[in-house]
Amino acid sequence: MLLAAMQRMRIKELLAAETPPGEVRVQGWVRTRRDSKTFSFLEVNDGSSLASLQVIYDASIEGYAANLPHLHTGSSVDVSGVVVRSQGKGQNWELQVRSLAVLGAAPETYPLQKKRHTREFLREIAHLRPRTNLFGAVFRVRSRLSFAIHRFFQERGFVHVHTPIITASDCEGAGEMFRVTTLEGQAFTAPEAETRDFFGKRTFLTVSGQLEGETFACAFSNIYTFGPTFRAENSNTARHAAEFWMIEPEMAFCDLTGDMEVAESLIQFLIRDALDHCTEDLAFCNEFVDQGLLERLRLIAGRPFSRISYTDAVEILLRSGKTFEYPVVWGQHLQTEHERYLSEEHCRGPVTIYDYPASIKPFYMRQNEDGKTVAAMDLLVPGIGEIIGGSQREERLDRLSQAMHSQGLREEDYWWYTDLRRYGTVPHAGFGLGFERLVMMVTGVENIRDVIPFPRTPRNAEF
């Protein structure tokens, strides 16, 4: 009795029909059931939309009495019937059952009941939470954003590159890498262990596809990667995950200004796409997650972003009269509290900070003529802080070698990367957009754990 996906009607499509679709078959999970003397009233949801289908199950239908004890919240059903105009408010159509089969019963102890559950509780049942309104909305928006990212780049002629997940290089130089090895026990600590390991060298899960992406940009001009990245940062914050997805475009013949333009137009494009295609889900988020959400998204999509140099940003912070937990010092990282002040209070919208001190940035960023700063940029958004980090790359071999040397990197480990500067080097730039932080911004959800299907954070890899 299995149906090919195309032979049944999805509830979203049914609810949107202009004229009654006649006789249909739908399949989904029961959200609620109410009984009267002569019929039961079911809400059935198949994940295609936030709204559920109202189903009238008359007691005179064959099998009713036998099915009823199995028709609790959470059970899965296969329903055929006739679509009629709904008597209730809020919906055009409802379904009058001709036949109903319970595919999988759920007992009354089903963990998701009609009441509102906390997000913390729902994380413990991450295998069931996609069946709630909130997580349904979040993961449909996540899916749409993923598609919109490909649309943005494909429509502009960027080539999508699959960069490796296992790598031997530490792109960000922060040492926050997960080791990949097949060695066990004593073999792991034995002398020369690395050469006996699977790849004959030390390997890790990638922290960024950028370096490999640059090689393809130096052939295709404009490329992007969109893949999982891993960071063994031991920071248990609402914005960091050990496994997250990153979009990394890389553009040849492009400088820092061009880089900022692409970053800003990407963010605006993605917000507009979500506003146009996730109307119902974003209205739900606006009501139940963050009541300023839609207004903020429209504002971000509708006007140019601010740009401030790092040096000016430090001045602004020092003159703000605010007391921050971390001191503001030229040459130090901006902390989240600083980033949020700049974006939320000073600019009241997204802001790109550029030209950071060289000493706090990775080796590959292009050195500015002042001898102190590099052509880096971070895009900060209200509520989150950094959502994008990028830079123009150092295309001059001598400067690159010198930066690698002073950051303690062995040039021979990166011979293929420096080769790009030997054979037809070009000015080029790129950035990384944290996909989860994007989903947080678009849905208003405050914790990164709630926009990832199965989040990986320190001491947590369940499911």
CA 145 – CA 152 distance, rounded (Å) = 10
Specify the DSSP class assigned to residue 334.
Answer: P
Contact stretch for Mg ion (CB under 5 A) within 37-45, 58-66, 338-346, 387-395: 387-395
Nearest to 221 by CA among 159, 154, 290, 163: 159
Backbone φ and ψ for 352, nearest 5 degrees, come out as -100, 125
- 385 in contact with Mg ion (CB under 5 A): no
- 431 in contact with ligand 4AD (CB under 6 A): yes
Task: Output 250 or 281, the one with its CB closest to Mg ion.
Answer: 250
- 389 in contact with ligand 4AD (CB under 6 A): yes
Indicate the residue type of 241. Answer: A
Indicate the residue type of 214. Answer: E
H helix and E strand count, the chain: 15, 16
Task: Output 197 or 378, the one with its CB closest to ligand 4AD.
Answer: 378
| Closest-approach residue to Mg ion (CB) | 389
Question: What's the chain's length in residues?
Answer: 463
- 450 in contact with ligand 4AD (CB under 6 A): no
Nearest to 74 by CA among 115, 41, 116, 44: 44
- 389 in contact with Mg ion (CB under 5 A): yes
**Shortest reach from residue 197's CB to ligand 4AD, in Å:** 25
Q: Burial letters for 292-304: b for 16+ Cβ neighbours within 10 Å, e otherwise?
A: ebbebbeebbeee
Nearest to 40 by CA among 11, 60, 22, 10: 60
Site track for ligand 4AD across 223-262, x = CB under 6 A: --------x-x------xx--x-x-x--------------
**Shortest reach from residue 68's CB to ligand 4AD, in Å:** 47
Task: Output 30 or 451, the one with its CB closest to ligand 4AD.
Answer: 451
Residue among 28, 227, 434, 444 that touches ligand 4AD (CB under 6 A): 434
**Shortest reach from residue 392's CB to ligand 4AD, in Å:** 10
Q: State the helix-helix crossing angle for 279-288 and 293-302, rounded to 10 degrees.
A: 130
Site track for ligand 4AD across 393-412, x = CB under 6 A: --------------------
Site track for ligand 4AD across 165-204, x = CB under 6 A: ------xx--------------------------------
CA 213 – CA 216 distance, rounded (Å) = 5
- 208 in contact with ligand 4AD (CB under 6 A): yes
Grouping H, G, I as helix, E, B as strand and the rest as coil, residue 406 is: helix
CA 165 – CA 226 distance, rounded (Å) = 11
Q: Which residues bind ligand 4AD (CB under 6 A)?
A: 171-172, 208, 210, 231, 233, 240-241, 244, 246, 248, 386-391, 430-432, 434, 436-437
